[in-house]
Structure 1
Amino acid sequence: MWLLTTDRAELKWFARPPAKYAIISHVWAKDPLPREQSFQEVQQLNFECARSGENPRSFVCEKMKRCCIIAEAHGYKLLWIDTCCINQMSSAELSEAINSMFSWYAKAAICYAFLSDLVDTEAPGSPNSSFRSSEWFRRGWTLQELIAPSDVIFLSQTWMPIASKRTVAPLLQEITGIDAGVLLGTLPLYKVSVARRLSWSSGRITTREEDEAYCLMGIFGVHLPTI
């Protein structure tokens, strides 16, 4: 498992998830700018800064930098974000990451969900709020990223904390159809019918067709070889 150090945005390898780390949930940028940085790009940046003596965190993309700063401010030294903590050039690492994703989110001390379309001047529960209509709730992968962590802090487009999973569980149930008990951890997933769990993914989209299956593996407790 690759993790970023929050103080320097340096990639570190761990044979198993450490005791305390933060994890990020987000929707990948669609436009050419701001562009998401890959594992190879961050690794190369780490090498270059090691030679120059500069802090690589100063040169990573804005999203990555902000995530590191927020996690560090909350006392977390390690951070996982899918854009750069998965070596997608390695089929073995990619397969392991896809099969381990639910577990990694579940074991994280905290999950930060960055909603780039969330306005911080609105109450999340107000009618027609940007929270209710956020694209984050319509993506396939964010389903398990909402369910698995013990808590999720929702960050607005200006990186302000707006709400947490625990404080707005009834609202999240209204938006997503996921039982509040599941979100709060009082209702185990295995006690929820397969049909109901499958219904939570209705209307959610993924970039690749095969991801429609991959993003549900953790919710159903299965492991599959990836294409």
Structure 2
Amino acid sequence: MRLINLGTLQLEEFFDRDVPPHCILSHTWGTEEVTLRAMGTMPIRGFCKIASQLGSTSLRYGWVDTCCIDKTSSAELSEAINSMFRWYSNAARCIVFLADVEIMPYKGDDRIVSEKLWADLQASRWLTRGWTLQELLAPRHVEFFDKNGGRIGDPDSLNFSISAATRISHDELHPDGWQKANIARKMSWAARRQTTRVGDIAYYLLSLFNAKMPPLYGEGERAFLRLQEEILKESNDLPILAPSAKGSAT
């Protein structure tokens, strides 16, 4: 597993038993997506700065999907997709950057801040993307920041806003809650979410159902059928076959 040294901004590699405590980033990348070969950009520097401040001297490493995974390697990409949920779950902290939310200009008037934040969260792209579903549910400690790096809150303080935007109930936003949800309920969380590739509609749901399967990019909707087959090996809950459970690709 590659991690970013928060002090040097250099990548270092660790094996499972040696992975140090680290902070993990959740973010909806746009045209500025960072790759393994393009470190040191503003999003990464901002993340590293906040991670360092949150963890003090005890948290010296961070993880960002696009620059800590070599996506040119199909084997590494497959391993990453099947390990992603575990990585987010094992991270000491998860920092969520909401690139389309900004609270700083409204600081000082609690009512305006509250109303503006509610509206922005309901419209935030992060709460409608496919991969961010597991990034919301998996981590033990999550903190949300706006586009300028201003702290917004955590899942407890933002519970009602996040629940309204995602249709995941208050109780289900906690590990003990979402893990108890049945198959149909988990599928319903994906109904309004979007992915860039059609296959990702299935891949980001793997860990929610404790399923394993290799990604085959280019297979399209066949990926969702394979996911259902994997789930049915452990359950005969046939309502999962309903096509309305699927999200959409954009």
How would you bin the TM-score normalised by the shorter chain? Answer: 0.7 to 0.9
Q: Secondary structure of the residue that 1:74 maps to in structure 2?
A: helix
Amino acid at match of 1:216: L
In 1, Cα distance between equivalents of 2:126 and 2:102: 13
Amino acid at match of 1:222: A
Q: Secondary structure of the residue that 2:77 maps to in structure 1?
A: helix
What percentage of aligned pairs have identical amino acids?
36
The residue that corresponds to 2:136 in the other structure is 146
- Per the TM alignment, residue 203 of structure 1 is displaced from its structure 2 partner at its CA by 1.5
Question: 4+ residue runs of structure 1 moved beyond 6 angstroms?
Answer: none
* Structure 2: segments with no counterpart, 5+ residues: 107-111, 217-250
In 2, Cα distance between equivalents of 1:127 and 1:85: 31
The reply on whether 1:73 has 2:53 as its aligned counterpart is yes
| Count of residue correspondences | 205
The residue that corresponds to 1:194 in the other structure is 183
- Residues 36 and 61 of structure 1 are in contact (CA less than 8 Å); yes or no, is this contact kept in structure 2? no
Distance 1:184 1:128, change over 3 A: closer
The reply on whether 1:5 has 2:5 as its aligned counterpart is yes
- Residues 151 and 166 of structure 1 are in contact (CA less than 8 Å); yes or no, is this contact kept in structure 2? no
Amino acid at match of 2:15: A
The residue that corresponds to 2:98 in the other structure is 115
The residue that corresponds to 1:20 in the other structure is 21
Amino acid at match of 1:5: N
- Per the TM alignment, residue 41 of structure 1 is displaced from its structure 2 partner at its CA by 3.3
What CA deviation, in whole Å up to 9, does each residue of 1:63-112 have, x standing for no partner? 00000111011122111111101111111111110000001001111111
The residue that corresponds to 1:164 in the other structure is 154
The 5 Å alignment of 1:203-222 reads: 203-222=192-211
Which is helix-richer, 1 or 2?
Answer: 2
**Larger relative contact order, structure 1 or 2 (CA cutoff 8 Å, min sep 6):** 1
Distance 1:133 1:188, change over 3 A: closer
Distance 1:128 1:79, change over 3 A: closer
Distance 1:127 1:3, change over 3 A: closer
Q: Secondary structure of the residue that 2:177 maps to in structure 1?
A: coil
In 2, Cα distance between equivalents of 1:62 and 1:128: 27
- Residues 101 and 117 of structure 2 are in contact (CA less than 8 Å); yes or no, is this contact kept in structure 1? no
Name the TM-score, length of structure 2 as normaliser. Answer: 0.77
Amino acid at match of 1:95: S
The reply on whether 1:183 has 2:173 as its aligned counterpart is yes
The residue that corresponds to 1:133 in the other structure is 123
* Structure 1: segments with no counterpart, 5+ residues: 43-59
- Per the TM alignment, residue 188 of structure 1 is displaced from its structure 2 partner at its CA by 4.9
Q: Secondary structure of the residue that 1:88 maps to in structure 2?
A: coil
Between structure 1 and structure 2, the one with the greater Rg is: 2
Q: Secondary structure of the residue that 2:119 maps to in structure 1?
A: coil
Amino acid at match of 1:40: R
The residue that corresponds to 1:54 in the other structure is none
